[in-house]
Amino acid sequence: MNNRTLQGASLIALIAGTVVAQPTLDGVFDSGTEGSFYGDPVWVQNNPTAFGDNTAGLFTGGEFGNPEVVDTGVEIRIPLASLGLSGSETIRLAGWVNSGDRTFKSNQIIGDLPLDTGNLGGAQDFNSAPFDGTTQHISIDLASVASGSATVDGSLDASYANFFLQGNYTGFGNETDGTVDGDGPNGGGSEIDGIYITKDATNLYIFVAGNLEYNGNGLDLYIDTGAGGDSELGSGSGDGAFIVNGQSGLVFDSGFTANYVFSVDSTDDDMDGMTPNVPRAHFGSISGSIDNLGNLAGWGAANAGALSGGISMGVDNSNTEGVIGDPSAASPVSPDADWAYGSEIDNLRVYLDEANNKLWVFLAGNMEGNYNKLTLFFDSQPGGQNVILDNNVDISFNALNNMSNITFDSGFEADYWIDFNQGVDGGSGALQRFTDAATMRTEGALIDPFFGVIVDYGSYDGGNIADFPMIPFAGPRIDIQDGSLGSLFANYGPRLSQLDPMSPIDGLIQFAINNSNVAGVTASSAAGAASVNTGLEMCLDLDELGWDGSQDILMAGWIANSGFDFISNQVLGGLPFSENIGPRDADSDGTNDLDFNAIDGEQFVNLFDPGVPSCPADLNGDMMLNFFDVSAFLQAYQSMNPVADFNGDGMFNFFDVSAFLQAYQAGCP
């Protein structure tokens, strides 16, 4: 061993250089780039999870109705000559359901919007995120469309061929009444369930399966005939100018240039405010006039018929099948960085960055998308709450106070609380994530002794994952401590915000999560817990945490249900049994009676005193020290890989060489 050490030292002496290195807050532990920061786990889970195992290949939801069975809707016949066509060209068709003034587009669009996409609103650029990589139009080779006859009455004929089926719920109402005008007592809705095409020698027939609500909603169809046209909507002209103007600035898919628009909506023909609305249509060139073709006498086959310009139309709203009226709550196939089907805590790594006054915590595992709660407590200074009080700040719908009377192990007194959760918003169907934080003082929330008003904050941050890939606690909300509010809330760290609310500090708390883990603990085994390298990662300012600079920082926590009142078996420090702890109020008398002193072992972790054996110089992980470890160190040092930052000061120099040699000489336990 000594000879190998000397040989390694001779080689190491040839290397020199200094560089600053930092971890990346992304919910991923990369042993090659972050091993020197976090090192080995300070705690590893001993229990399988009883709160769901995230297994590869899982998928839920995705049922959004039966668009393929819809055989009524909007049917139109347009002379081929009106489109400048002979019947052998390839044309493209884009379209959507729109508000009556055409300024708010629904999610009923001809294209491949992702499942559970909400209404789109104003003008979009279909070549940019989140539409890049998708196609919001269909192509139709008229030469291959079989000719056939069709009766224009709002019902599907056998001669039609299908070119599109809807893959998304409708955000513009779900028709359930079944009347031809859609104006029954159960309300109406608008949807595009499918697009069907046929032709004869002189006409193009387009059948839009679905519904067009009685309230004036518009169905706008844009046709690209292959010659010229506009790739972006500008200003319209004629009676139908509002159709284009309402979506001015919209950019079609690359390669799609609109030549014509055909639009259907409904109007009060007698303008008396009492006569039922009837279908009307507009048609024209994008670069010319968009003309009013007139209206039908009413809805259904009996009222279908000819409009001006040789165009015919029929509208039947009796469909009650098709797509559903709410998000399908579809979830991705696992593994997925955002989504998980179970909740578990696998292992815990820590990096104390005193130079930058930060505590980095990496908690491997998963958090299910059902608003299960990961609730964490820190003991970082003398004092605090060994028994959770009921006079803390109001945060997470008073969740912290609702946990009152839970007793920690002796020796643990909470000074700080953090909660993390994620789930699907019931309205938009979007995945959301949130983090809450609060200071836990020995006597409860801080009250101004002169005015008798609360001056402590309940802090929170988060929202749709598209807006919060990382939760930054960077404002803008911070309530003023003027006594006018019974509770104070902020989007900044609660402890330091209380001291100076007029100058809040960004980024005192930062959270990121990666839910890709499909290994780790299972429903029956904890054997894989130590190997998990994705999960929840946080960076906490040490002053915000309240660290006194000398006390060991202790951490307790567990995964609970969405109401915080049923606690899993995923508990920091581990449990001597594999069952869930269960209700925190076991006897249901209204008072929490959970006392961790009654459970064998310590249900907290000392972040500064890891209990997991380590062999830091064993860089190739074979639990033996030899030339291969020296070689691995040399390669890491030469490439300025953080694994070679052996003294953890963020720089590469002789002190790292010395620290490595000392660890090498010490051997493995």
End-to-end, the C-alpha distance of the chain in Å comes to: 15
| Mutual angle of helices 654-666 and 2-12, in 10-degree steps | 170
CA 536, CA 517: separation in Å to the nearest integer? 11
Tokens, residue 466: 């598209």
Per residue in 525-555, pLDDT (tens digit) is 999 999 999 999 999 999 999 999 999 999 9
Per residue in 583-634, pLDDT (tens digit) is 999 999 999 999 999 999 999 999 987 554 456 677 765 657 788 888 888 8
14 backbone dihedrals φ, ψ, rounded to 5°: -80, -10
Q: Examine the pLDDT at 9 and tell me if it is beyond 60.
A: no
Place of tokens 């046709």: 223
Q: Report CA dihedral (242, 243, 247, 250) to the nearest 10 degrees.
A: -130
Question: Which among 457, 558, 460 has a CA at the least distance from the CA of 509?
Answer: 460
CA 154, CA 628: separation in Å to the nearest integer? 76
Q: Examine the pLDDT at 210 and tell me if it is beyond 60.
A: yes
For 604, other C-beta atoms within 10 Å of its C-beta total 23
Strand order in the sheet with 43-44: 43-44, 344-353, 358-366, 535-541, 509-513
Q: What percent of the chain has pLDDT over 90?
A: 75
Q: Is the dihedral of CA 31, 37, 40, 46 positive or negative?
A: negative
User: Would you give the DSSP letter of residue 276?
Assistant: P
Beta partners for 93? Answer: 138, 223
Confidence grade of residue 648 (pLDDT, cut at 50, 70, 90):
low
CA 523, CA 47: separation in Å to the nearest integer? 9
Tokens, residue 89: 């060209």
Cβ–Cβ < 8 Å for 41, 533: no
* Higher-scoring residue by pLDDT: 184, 231: 231
pLDDT mean over 223-242: 96
Alpha helices in 565-626 (DSSP H): none
Residue 669: the pLDDT is 56
Q: Is the dihedral of CA 12, 14, 20, 21 positive or negative?
A: negative
Distances (CA, A) of 532 to 369, 423, 498: 19, 23, 37
CA 618, CA 625: separation in Å to the nearest integer? 6
* Global pTM value: 0.67
Tokens, residue 349: 């790594």
Alpha helices in 349-482 (DSSP H): 399-402
Q: Examine the pLDDT at 268 and tell me if it is beyond 80.
A: no
CA 196, CA 318: separation in Å to the nearest integer? 18
**Strands (E) located in 501-613:** 509-513, 535-541, 554-560, 566-571, 582-583, 605-606
Q: Report CA dihedral (630, 635, 640, 646) to the nearest 10 degrees.
A: -10
Contacts of 274 (CB under 8 A, 6+ apart): none
CA 539, CA 361: separation in Å to the nearest integer? 6
CA 579, CA 577: separation in Å to the nearest integer? 6
Residue 622: the pLDDT is 60
Residue 341: the pLDDT is 95
Residue 532: the pLDDT is 96
Per residue in 286-343, pLDDT (tens digit) is 999 999 999 999 999 999 999 999 999 999 999 999 999 988 888 899 999 999 999 9
What does the radius of gyration of the chain's CA atoms come to, in whole angstroms? Answer: 32
Q: Is the peptide bond before 669 cis (omega within 30 degrees of 0)?
A: no
Mean pLDDT, the chain, integer: 90
